[in-house]
Amino acid sequence: MKITYYGHASLGIEVGGKNIIVDPFITGNPKASGIDINSLKADYILVTHAHGDHVLDVETIAKNTNAVIVSNAEIATYYGGKGFNSHPMNHGGSWKFDFGKVKYVNAIHSSSFPDGTYGGNPGGFVIEGEHKNIYIAGDTALTYDMKLIPLRTELDLVILPIGDNFTMDVEDAIIASDFVDCDKILGYHFDTFGYIEINHEESIRKFFDKGKDLMLLEIGESIEL
């Protein structure tokens, strides 16, 4: 499994011979100006919730690639009504796709489209690939619901928001990694706006002091599991 960071909360995942884009907010992020969305490959687009900083480039990428948009029922219906391929899910439900199993799990946040359309309840995704399992938390506060995840899935990586203000901060993310029983963490949802700027060295040190590995990738950088 290869994971590429496209800035903010946007990710590219290559698994099982398929390409997945998560929460594409690229053209609206000046820090991601080096990423050409028209060159991105996507068989699926996973959307955690409907805020503009997570859905801005969904339609462009879907038009370019004919990707299936996977999200909660309201978001999937919204895009389905526009003629896009979509797969609806809801909290606690899972589906076996051709790249692996996906479960839509709880997140504590809000969710509405930029045009005011109701975006359902926000969520995160647990992806079980052939060899590696990851949890993408989406925008969320720390929640005890995270403790349910390792009861079913042994994680190799957890992807957590760490920017504070709109989501949990570094300290809560450390607790979240305890809840999901995973000490390998990819941080995201930081530095894009002034509200969510973080001290990188201090954040990495705080995780290290707890025996954990926090990775803060440069935009366009990848890791392989």
Using DSSP, state whether 184 is helix, strand or coil: strand
Structural contact between residues 155 and 149, judged by C-beta atoms closer than 8 angstroms: yes
Domain-located, residue 221: no
Q: What is the CA radius of gyration of the chain?
A: 16
Question: Can you give the residue range of the structural domain that contains 110?
Answer: 2-216
The model's confidence at residue 36, banded by pLDDT at 50, 70 and 90, is: very high
Domain-located, residue 182: yes
pTM of the entire structure? 0.98
Domain-located, residue 40: yes
Domain-located, residue 128: yes
The model's confidence at residue 24, banded by pLDDT at 50, 70 and 90, is: very high
- The pLDDT of 209-217, averaged and rounded, is 98
Domain-located, residue 223: no
Domain-located, residue 80: yes
Domain-located, residue 159: yes
**Strand ranges in 8-132 using DSSP code E only, listed in sequence order:** 11-15, 18-22, 44-46, 68-72, 86-89, 94-97, 100-106, 123-128
The torsion angles phi and psi of 185, rounded to 5 degrees, stand at -125, 135
CATH number at residue 30: 3.60.15.10
- The pLDDT of 169-195, averaged and rounded, is 98
Structural contact between residues 102 and 86, judged by C-beta atoms closer than 8 angstroms: no
Kindly state the tokens that stand for 59. 């339609």
Q: Among 93, 36, 42, which residue's Cα sits nearest to residue 69?
A: 42
- The pLDDT of 82-100, averaged and rounded, is 98
Beta-carbon count within 10 A of 38 CB: 9
Domain count for the chain, please give it: 1
- The pLDDT of 42-48, averaged and rounded, is 99
Residue range 146-155, pLDDT digits in tens:
999 999 999 9
Domain-located, residue 47: yes
Structural contact between residues 222 and 4, judged by C-beta atoms closer than 8 angstroms: yes
